Chains A and B, each alone.
Chain A
Amino acid sequence: MMRDTLSLRTVAQLLSLFVALFLFSAYGVAQTYLTVELGFEGKLMPDRYAPILIDVHDYQAAEPGRLRITQIAGNEWRGEATLQQELGYAIQSSGRYETVIPVYDPVNPITVELLSPTDTVLASTIVNQKSTMRPAPYPVLDKQLPRFDPRAAIIDPTSLPNQWWALDGVENLWIASPLSIETWTAISQWVLAGGSLVLLTGTDFYRMDSPQLRELLPVFNPEIRTTPIGTTYLSGSHPGAVIDLLAEEGFPLLLHSKYGAGNVSLVTREASALSVEDLQEISISIAPAALLSLTNTTDLILRAQPAVTLNSLLVLVMIALLGTLVCVCALIGRRNPKLGWAFLLICALSIAVSSGLASNPTAHSVDIYTTNSHFYLQASVSLLSVSSSSYASVVTSFNQAHKEGLLPLESLPRSLQLATSFDSLTLPGKTQRSLSAGDMRSWHAYGTAASVFDLQMLSESTVRISNSYPTSFDAAWILIEGLVYPMTDIQRGSHDYDLDAEASVRLTSFLAETYSQRAPATLQLIREIHNAFTLSQGVWLIATAEDAQLITGDNTQKVRDITLVVVRAEEANRAI
């Protein structure tokens, strides 16, 4: 009996131990967790975009979860702002999710959370990168290269993100390996927007060769040559390129050429043939990246915009009318009070109705003024740069709509201790923020874009333009070797347009202050991009469209959208 009790007790203990172990392991299996990689080799820069890679582990749910990133900018002395971005992924299972996010102040920890549809935090992780944060842009090197610059991040170029603005914080990108089409496209877009690319070729050229690389190369008809002492290098014709360094044997070692707003530098020898000292010498001659931004110009355009207001002169007219009315009524009313009242009612109500018509609140009470600039740049690849500035005339919270997929990078001032907070929440397609009366805010974002125009020069005086943009354009100009041909407008679809040689002006006159009174705002944007692109060479199409609308709701917003499209005509499409 005693033995039976003992054995029962042992079985019960074993069973409970088994159950405990099972529950513990089951709990361990079900626990969702996140791992995050941010920046290149962990390096990132404040107020720039950086790539983020989020791995969601052990997650399976019927209802899709969301990923939210929370950043704190500033400190107790500067003031603090909480900036949140929700990524547009509907997460139903474990997996890898990558995107590019704006990074504000990486000295503070960045929180990444997986949220359920009911906003419950399912998993979260804190990314602390204050030790790897860089105060200025840094070089990113192909793993084939030695770390000749201590500031540099070394990466496997095949892991480069396909969203070109991931390279926003990069000073220059050194490539010495073959890449996929998508990666070459992203790099081309980045260089077009103002990036700085260094290509190390030599005997590796044929391994790396691709149409996108040939488009970027500063040389035409590239071929590998060997010097009498057996040194191999990449050679070719280089009409537009600048030779910066010559090798000891006399062949060009480093060439530069412009590509869009950026620079491409070609090192004619392969990476393995260059020492650390050679690379350091080359790096001195490489121009830093400077991405095109229209934020300042958009800000200026908004500042120049007239504020919607009531007319004070009408008040003076009303004072005069009512003053006269009350005197006339007194005269009439003393003889016949009923007539006095009738006269007063008729006249005062007439003035009231007129004043009501003159002060329509939907047209005269504007809480927020916003100017958005959409800049499409189209060459062999296309890109989009959006800048937005807002001014609030009252204290207000508002949702600003923007293209889905854009994660705006807010321009934060040094001091965040103003009347209203700089907190913001970006959801897919909109950003929520609060502004106090007199506040001015701006942000910018980058994106990819499909081709807007197909441009073909049919003859010296005729051009065919296919417009695939959803709307027509109010004004356009064709630029041929520094001569500007004004056009009326560009309708949707494919149309042939005649170029009026008599109406053409030199580019310098076109950009002068006095020209084109009809589009002063867009002219400011064109002037800004003129500094980045060589518009005086080749064939370009510049088209602009403006739209102003009054959005009523909780608050009245006057939104002005300016679209600027700059197209560089392909050599193949030029018949002249």
Chain B
Amino acid sequence: MRSDTVFSTSSLQAYLSLIFLCGAALAASIQPAARIAELHGSVMPYAPGLFPLSFVLLFGLFSINRGAVIASNAAPHISQSKLVLRILEHIAYGLVLLSPYLIYSRALLPNTGVDLFLLVVYSIISALFFCLLSFRLERRGDHWKKGSFLLRYGSFLAFCLVPFGLGISHSSLRFLVTASPAGFVTQLMGGASALELASGFLVPLLGILWILTRRQRFDRRHHAV
């Protein structure tokens, strides 16, 4: 059996990790059963935003992992559509598994319906982007016979931190905050504007288009050679 199918042993490990880590984040973001006096006197604020933030980041990491596994198992000239379908299969499997958590966390989000929908759509788009990015970096690493582990996870970290850091460094660059997955979730929880939401969605969408078009050119050149 191929190790990149959703039912493989390596996938099972990834899904189990996703279930346990997201479950732990959900449990931690639930306000402990207490009386109001204890909440009022408590120095540790309860963070309902911990679950959505952890969900998006962990799902991003999961996608990086899946992208690399697909790259090492897929045929060298796998078609664009087949690749995207294979990636979407993993994303869908993960989302179905996490759907009970997402439904349960409705009571933690300020604007339940819209926010949850946006969060799921964003996590699908960003997961697709991270998976494709990871796939491309892994293939490039194989080509140059170099390990791409650090590059894959480093680029994920940079993607999360750089726009966020730039966005909070100056008020004129504030719109960049939502370009980072962490920034997108925090802004969504605080009531993001349409521009902020658009920039949040635009960055992974442009990333997907860029990777797919680059791959087409690479394939054409490869065929020509």
Contact = CB atoms under 8 A, between A and B. Distances in A.
B216 interface: no
Given A326-B12, A329-B7, A438-B40, A361 B112 contact: yes
Interface string B97-120: 101111111111110100000000
Interface string B6-40: 11110110011001100110110011111111011
A375 B134 CA distance: 67
Interface residues of B, number: 45
- Tell me if B's interface is mostly helix, strand, loop or mixed: helix
Contacts of B42: 438
Interface string A474-489: 0000000000000000
Nearest to B37: A303
Interface string A336-367: 01001000110011011111101111011100
A250 interface: no
Contacts of B9: 330
Contacts of B36: 302-307, 369, 391, 440
Interface in B39-85: 39-40, 42, 45-46
A330 B7 contact: yes
Nearest to A316: B27
Interface residues of A, number: 51
A312 B5 contact: no
Interface string A367-399: 001000000000000000000000101100000
A519 interface: no
A340 B7 contact: yes
Contacts of A121: none
Contacts of B105: 359
Contacts of B100: 318, 321-322, 348, 351-352, 354-355
Contact of A333 (B6, B96, B99): B6
Contact of A356 (B8, B104, B110): B104
Nearest to A303: B37
A518 interface: no
A312 B9 CA distance: 30
Nearest to A318: B100
B19 A322 contact: yes
B30 A310 contact: yes
Contact of A304 (B37, B97, B102): B37
A315 interface: yes
B108 A310 contact: yes
Max count, chain A CB within 10 A of own CB: residue among B32, B96, B97, B104: B104
Given A307-B35, A365-B108, 19 more contacts: A305-B36, A310-B108, A312-B32, A316-B23, A318-B101, A322-B19, A323-B19, A327-B16, A337-B7, A340-B6, A340-B7, A344-B93, A344-B97, A345-B96, A348-B100, A349-B99, A352-B103, A360-B107, A391-B36
